[in-house]
Amino acid sequence: MRDTTTPLRIRAFVWAGAAVFIAAVVMVSAALVWNARKVALDDYEAQATRFVAGAEAALNRSLLAVDVLLASMDELLGLSGSMSEWVDPDLASQRLRSSARQNLMVRYVALLDANGKTIASSDAAGSALPLQLPPGFLASVLEQPVSTLMISPPVVSFATAERVLYFARHLRMADSSLVVAIAELPVGALSSVLVQGVDITGLQVTLERAGGLLLLSAPNREEAITPVLSPPLQEVAALGQAWKAPARLSGEPALVVYRPILYQDLRISASIPLRDALAGWRDQRNAIALTGLLFVAMIVAAGNLALRYLDRMSQARLAIAQSKATLDQALESMVSGFVLLDGEQRVVQWNSRFEEIFPWLRAVMAPMVPFRRVMEETARHHLPRASEEERMRWVELRLLKQNQHHEPHEQVLPNGRTIQITERPTPEGGLVITYHDVTALRRASAEIESLAFYDPLTNLPNRRLLMDRMQQVIAASVRSGQYGALLFLDLDHFKTLNDTMGHEVGDMLLRQVAERLKTCVRREDTVARLGGDEFVVMLHELSLHSEEAAAYARRVGEKILRTLNMPYSLAGLSHHSTPSIGATLMGGALQPSVDLLKQADIAMYQVKSQGRNALCFFDPQMQIAISVRAQLEGDLQAALAARQFALHYQPQFHLDGRIVGAEALIRWIHPERGLIAPSAFIGVAEESELIVPMGHWVLRTACEQLAAWENDARYRHVPLSVNVSARQFRQRDFVARVVEVLRETGARPHLLKLELTESLVLDNVDDTIAKMGLLKTKGVRFSVDDFGTGYSSLAYLTRLPLDQLKIDQSFVRNLGVRHTDDVIVQTIIGMARNLELDVIAEGVETAQQKALLADYGCQLFQGYLLGMPGPVSELEVLLQQAATQASAEGAAG
Ligand SMILES: Nc1nc2c(ncn2[C@@H]2O[C@H](COP(=O)(O)O[C@H]3[C@@H](O)[C@H](n4cnc5c(=O)[nH]c(N)nc54)O[C@@H]3COP(=O)(O)O)[C@@H](O)[C@H]2O)c(=O)[nH]1
């Protein structure tokens, strides 16, 4: 089935139109047919009427001729003056013959007596002519009161076997007897007279009596018995003519016209069956109908074609509507705003996203609105304070750009959103403008940039951005000759704060430091965070002169020191933090940024080593020291491999003079420089990984010494203290290695005392306690070295499995000189007593110091006063002396 898209209303209209046309065609056809029928019938009626009139005249003439022939027989034969028996048959017959020759239709004429006997005849048989008249005919002729022509019903001729009619009239003889003049006429001859050569299709002609007795007909009816047609003509066609009457011969509906003729009650009728009368008309009707049908078919076809065309139109419209709807949908689902302009720069189409982006343009947007009007409204919104002239300039510029370059460009709206605008020309000379909201994209890029170049905690530039900016500043400084400065900051004891207060608190401090640093510098300077508690401040273009630049940098550094020294409020608690600042100048030459950073870092470490919370400028000497340090590190590594280290032992004494132990102290027996004290290299070793193998070597050597003494009663009771550095202690396998050394050397664990510095113990207390606890179970003992220099709280000390506190020699040095140190020493001794720990004072150089320490309750001493560190042999001598002295005192006692 064909898809129809034309609306029903239009289809109905088309078909109604077609129906009207068809009706008109049908009506016209019907009228034509009707008219043709009427013409045909009228024509036939006229023909029939004409024919009947003609036939009547012809028949009247023929009958009159026969009648005259019969009537003239009286005169011809002189009958009225003679008797019937006087008539000479031969003469009469001869006369009749010559008379009958005058009428071609008559076969013969005869004279009969009242009995029907032939008196004379024109026939060759003369009076011998046999005659067989229809029954009753002779009597009816003789019965006529007045001699009138009588016509018999048709009969078959006795002589010719033809159908014939007899015409007769009686003639009165002189004796008043009646004779009958009779003429025989073949029906065919009379029929010829009737038809008169007329050629009317289907014509049926009759000559009949008023009662319906058929005398002759054309076409001829060869019937033995003369038929009586019913009903009689006057009933069929009372007015002489009738339509749709039964044809006189065939009985089918026909046009029947009749006329009476002069003789007797005879009537001539002409019947033309409608079938024949309308035969021609039927062809016409068919032609008209065919033409009508053709027209109808054409109308139907035209209707169909029209509908098909309308369907196509409708489908095309639908397709256009659908594609427009699809386009609209696509436009509406676009994430970008969209405006289509025609060649005249008028708005053709736009989407709702456009209105979302520019809500103030909603009232302006309409089809065919000039885009200039849209721009004017935009200018009004964008430049609310601008003059009308300025706005017009803006609009002109915008329209000019729009038509000139079609590169995407961005516009920041008053609401802060960033819109990317792209204009593309259309083939028709118009313009497609898309508006893409790139705000999120720009924000994301900014965020990505921020993540890549900014420290997320403080929002300060990170190392990467700092290095980048440094390169720019260095390059600019080379061009301009201006000096800048780099300040490297590290917060003192930040790690302790982090460990004791938690990372959140540490982060708070870092954020506040970042904020304060920003207040100390100019807007164009850079404050960056490298990570942890390290910050860098880059000051650029300070001066063309290095001294001036350095002075300016110092002022800024001091300002930073002051600012960062101010108390902080961290989680509701007041906190004091100090920075160590290293500074270096930038400029003059194209220096690598890494080197500059390193210089500032070195200077900062200088500050750290000098007591922190200060500013120090990098000087080349520092660089030399660093190089020396690097050299030393290499040398140490080589020395370790070359076994250039040895252990010296410093004895530890009881107040009563006994040697209660010794501290193992490493010495570097340098092949060229001789004996080198650890203060010259232990720091470098501790900063590198070298301290780990070095400390392990010390531990093993000391344990081997203990094991070596094991079989000697003079020394086997002497414990040895071994220094353990932080990096060594923090090794994951530290405990395992100590246990392994003890096992491998065979040293008794309780004779091994590990000296841990106070700062080591406090750094990651949990790990310290765990490791100490494990070794404690093996019998190893512990002493806290340099006690008093840190900030040990009683709480920590109680958690540690300690055996001894070692009072730092810095306090011992000033005993009796600086009161605070006396107080500190007394406190430490009291603390040790409370915790039931041994306490030993180191660095005891004078008897006064020893006496004061003894007064304060300290019974164990180590120092140059009592014994210098020396090779094991020296210690063994001392031990032997002490043993000898003890035994002498015992003997004396
Ligand atoms: N991790 C390790 N550290 C070690 C090892 N050996 C030594 N050290 C540490 O090196 C620092 C310097 O040690 P050293 O030069 O050996 O000095 C020690 C003593 O000689 C010195 N001392 C002893 N008595 C006095 C004195 O009366 N006056 C004075 N001025 N100095 C004296 O003290 C140092 C011992 O100190 P301490 O260890 O704190 O007991 C030093 O810090 C050593 O710790 C090692 O093998 N591993």
pLDDT, tens only, 635-659: 999 999 999 999 999 999 999 989 9
User: Is the C-beta atom of 686 inside 6 A of ligand 1?
Assistant: no
Query: Using CB atoms within 10 A of its CB, is residue 240 exposed (0-12), middle (13-18) or buried (19+)?
Result: middle
- The yes-or-no verdict on residue 1 having pLDDT over 80 is no
Report strand pairing: 534-543 vs 483-491: antiparallel
Scan for tokens 């300002």, then name that residue. Answer: 559
- For residue 495, the SS3 value is helix
Please name the residue whose Cα sits nearest to atom 42 of ligand 1.
Answer: 679
Residue 701's H or E segment, with its range, is helix 691-709
User: Is the C-beta atom of 785 inside 6 A of ligand 1?
Assistant: yes
Cβ neighbours for 221, distance < 8 A, ≥ 6 positions apart? 214, 227, 249
Copy the structure tokens of residue 39. Answer: 């013409």
| Structural contact between residues 257 and 269, judged by C-beta atoms closer than 8 angstroms | yes
> If you measure from the C-alpha of residue 753 to the centroid of ligand 1, how many angstroms do you get, rounded to a whole number?
15
- The yes-or-no verdict on residue 792 having pLDDT over 60 is no
Helix 187-195 vs helix 8-77: angle between axes, to the nearest 10 degrees?
Answer: 130
For 310-388, strand residue ranges (E) read 337-341, 347-350
Residue 793's pLDDT band, with cuts at 50, 70 and 90, is: low
Report strand pairing: 337-341 vs 431-437: antiparallel
Question: So what's the pLDDT on residue 536?
Answer: 97
> If you measure from the C-alpha of residue 665 to the centroid of ligand 1, how many angstroms do you get, rounded to a whole number?
6
- The yes-or-no verdict on residue 533 having pLDDT over 80 is yes
Give CA–CA dist 402/389, Å, rounded.
Answer: 20
1-11 burial string, b = 16+ CB within 10 Å, else e? eeeeebeeeeb
448-481 burial string, b = 16+ CB within 10 Å, else e? eebeebbbeebebbbbebbbebbeebbeebeeee
User: Is the C-beta atom of 841 inside 6 A of ligand 1?
Assistant: no
Using one digit for the tens of pLDDT, what is the confidence trace for 556-580?
A: 999 999 999 999 999 888 999 999 9
User: Is the C-beta atom of 698 inside 6 A of ligand 1?
Assistant: yes
- The yes-or-no verdict on residue 623 having pLDDT over 70 is no
Give CA–CA dist 844/861, Å, rounded.
Answer: 7
Give CA–CA dist 188/105, Å, rounded.
Answer: 9
User: Is the C-beta atom of 758 inside 6 A of ligand 1?
Assistant: no
| Structural contact between residues 162 and 55, judged by C-beta atoms closer than 8 angstroms | no
700 vs 20, residue with greater confidence: 700
Please name the residue whose Cα sits nearest to atom 21 of ligand 1.
Answer: 843
| Structural contact between residues 454 and 461, judged by C-beta atoms closer than 8 angstroms | yes
List domains and CATH numbers for the chain: 8-297 (3.30.450.20), 334-443 (3.30.450.20), 474-618 (3.30.70.270), 631-892 (3.20.20.450)
User: Is the C-beta atom of 694 inside 6 A of ligand 1?
Assistant: no
| pTM recorded for the entire structure | 0.44
User: Is the C-beta atom of 512 inside 6 A of ligand 1?
Assistant: no
User: Is the C-beta atom of 543 inside 6 A of ligand 1?
Assistant: no
State the DSSP string of 204-244: EEEEEETT-BEEEEES----SS--B-SS-HHHH-TTSEEEE
Using one digit for the tens of pLDDT, what is the confidence trace for 20-52?
A: 888 888 888 888 888 888 888 788 888 888 888
Task: Provide the 10 A C-beta neighbour count for residue 380.
Answer: 16
Substitution candidate for ligand 1 out of 653, 665, 866 with most atoms within 8 A of CB: 665
CA atoms within 13 A on the CB side of 730: 14
State the DSSP string of 440-489: HHHHHHHHHHHHHHB-TTT--B-HHHHHHHHHHHHHHHHHH--EEEEEEE
- The yes-or-no verdict on residue 891 having pLDDT over 70 is no
- The yes-or-no verdict on residue 703 having pLDDT over 90 is yes
> If you measure from the C-alpha of residue 784 to the centroid of ligand 1, how many angstroms do you get, rounded to a whole number?
14
- The yes-or-no verdict on residue 505 having pLDDT over 90 is yes
Q: Which atom of ligand 1 is nearest to the CA of 665?
A: 6
Of the candidates 108, 118, 109, 128, which has an alpha carbon nearest to the alpha carbon of residue 84?
118
Please name the residue whose Cα sits nearest to atom 20 of ligand 1.
Answer: 869
> If you measure from the C-alpha of residue 836 to the centroid of ligand 1, how many angstroms do you get, rounded to a whole number?
25
Length of the chain: 893
Question: So what's the pLDDT on residue 544?
Answer: 87
Mean of the per-residue pLDDT values for the chain? 87
Copy the structure tokens of residue 412. Answer: 């920041």
Q: What is the mean pLDDT of residues 609-629?
A: 79
Give CA–CA dist 188/775, Å, rounded.
Answer: 169
User: Is the C-beta atom of 577 inside 6 A of ligand 1?
Assistant: no
Using one digit for the tens of pLDDT, what is the confidence trace for 506-516?
A: 999 999 999 99
Q: Long-range pairs for 812-816 at CB < 8 Å and ≥24 separation? A: 812/841, 812/842, 812/843, 812/844, 812/845, 812/849, 812/853, 812/863, 813/843, 813/845, 813/849, 815/848, 815/849, 815/852, 815/853, 816/848, 816/849, 816/852
Give CA–CA dist 143/136, Å, rounded.
Answer: 10
| Structural contact between residues 546 and 588, judged by C-beta atoms closer than 8 angstroms | yes
Give CA–CA dist 336/325, Å, rounded.
Answer: 18
620 vs 872, residue with greater confidence: 872
Question: So what's the pLDDT on residue 222?
Answer: 67
Give CA–CA dist 382/374, Å, rounded.
Answer: 12
Least confident of 336-350, 404-418, 681-695, 854-868: 404-418
User: Is the C-beta atom of 783 inside 6 A of ligand 1?
Assistant: no
Give CA–CA dist 78/92, Å, rounded.
Answer: 10
Please name the residue whose Cα sits nearest to atom 36 of ligand 1.
Answer: 842
